[in-house]
Amino acid sequence: AQSVTQLGSHVSVSEGALVLLRCNYSSSVPPYLFWYVQYPNQGLQLLLKYTTGATLVKGINGFEAEFKKSETSFHLTKPSAHMSDAAEYFCAVTMTGGFKTIFGAGTRLFVKA
Amino acid sequence: DTGVSQNPRHKITKRGQNVTFRCDPISEHNRLYWYRQTLGQGPEFLTYFQNEAQLEKSRLLSDRFSAERPKGSFSTLEIQRTEQGDSAMYLCASSLALAGVITDTQYFGPGTRLTVL
């Protein structure tokens, strides 16, 4: 069975500091991996996704994530946090050829001025 | 592209009442998904349509829940005899599945927040 674990329900960084949000997954088959962002009272917006090919994936708003199969990880990073990055971030996995997406519990990012 | 819309945005109801939510996907999208999101959790898959066919339902979707997508356009999610445990955000997403494309990107609506008193 697939599952997603996001380490840290809350992460706080200073504006301009590195953002690192951790995600580990379990899957019996090669997965497709996603990061979504959710602002208050809004739906989820796709930040980036990994399907095949290059393991370092760049997304919107300066975010990127690296798929590491040996570590079953897909951590999200951004070199310099901005106040507008404050939101909830969800890591998700979909089985190859499938449609059912499993989400992690989310990590709320706080950005301090 | 006007995005995925959901109505109503908020619904307060009394326990035992029936409620119906509507989702209008992005017009050319052939797949439509319903998720439930409770406080402090990620979205949980409920059900999925390919055009008008409902292809999978989660075990979370008890017999009090029913979803339809007539004509493969908008979708409705009905909850009968609501319980306090049904209080959650109900999210709809749509995607365009193309032959030969590995996986499709789901676009989410803003959700309908249900409160059962």
A50-101 per-position pLDDT tens digit:
988 888 999 999 999 999 989 999 999 999 999 999 999 999 998 766 677 8
Q: Which of B67, B107, B61, B59 is nearest to B88 (CA)?
A: B61
Per-residue model confidence (pLDDT) at position B101: 67
pLDDT of residue A101: 86
Provide the H-helix boundaries in B21-113.
none
Of B31, B42, B44, the CB nearest to A99: B31
A25 with A5: CB under 8 angstroms?
yes
Mean pLDDT, residues B69-73 taken together: 89
B81, B73, B94: which is closest to B16 by C-alpha?
Answer: B81
Average pLDDT over residues A21-38: 89
Assigned token pair, B117: 């008193």
Contact A99 B56 (CB under 8 A): yes
Q: How many CB atoms lie within 10 A of CB B59?
A: 6
Structure tokens at B42: 């990620």
Give all strands (DSSP E) within chain A, no chain letters.
3-7, 10-14, 19-26, 31-38, 44-50, 56-58, 64-68, 73-78, 87-95, 101-103, 107-112
Determine, for residues A103 and B43 on separate chains, whether the beta-carbon distance falls below 8 Å: yes
pLDDT of residue B103: 67
Residue B40 forms contact with A (CB below 8 Å) = yes
B85 against B100, higher pLDDT: B85
pLDDT for position A53: 85
Angstrom distances, CA of residue B27 to CA of B31, B88, B106: 11, 26, 13
Q: How far apart are CA B91 and CA A107, in angstroms?
A: 19
Under an 8 A CB cutoff, do B4 and A43 touch?
Answer: yes
Question: Bigger pLDDT: B56 or B87?
Answer: B87
Please, which pLDDT band fits residue B99 given cuts at 50, 70 and 90?
confident
- Whether B77 and B21 have beta carbons less than 8 Å apart is answered as yes
Q: Taking residues A1-20, what's their average pLDDT?
A: 93
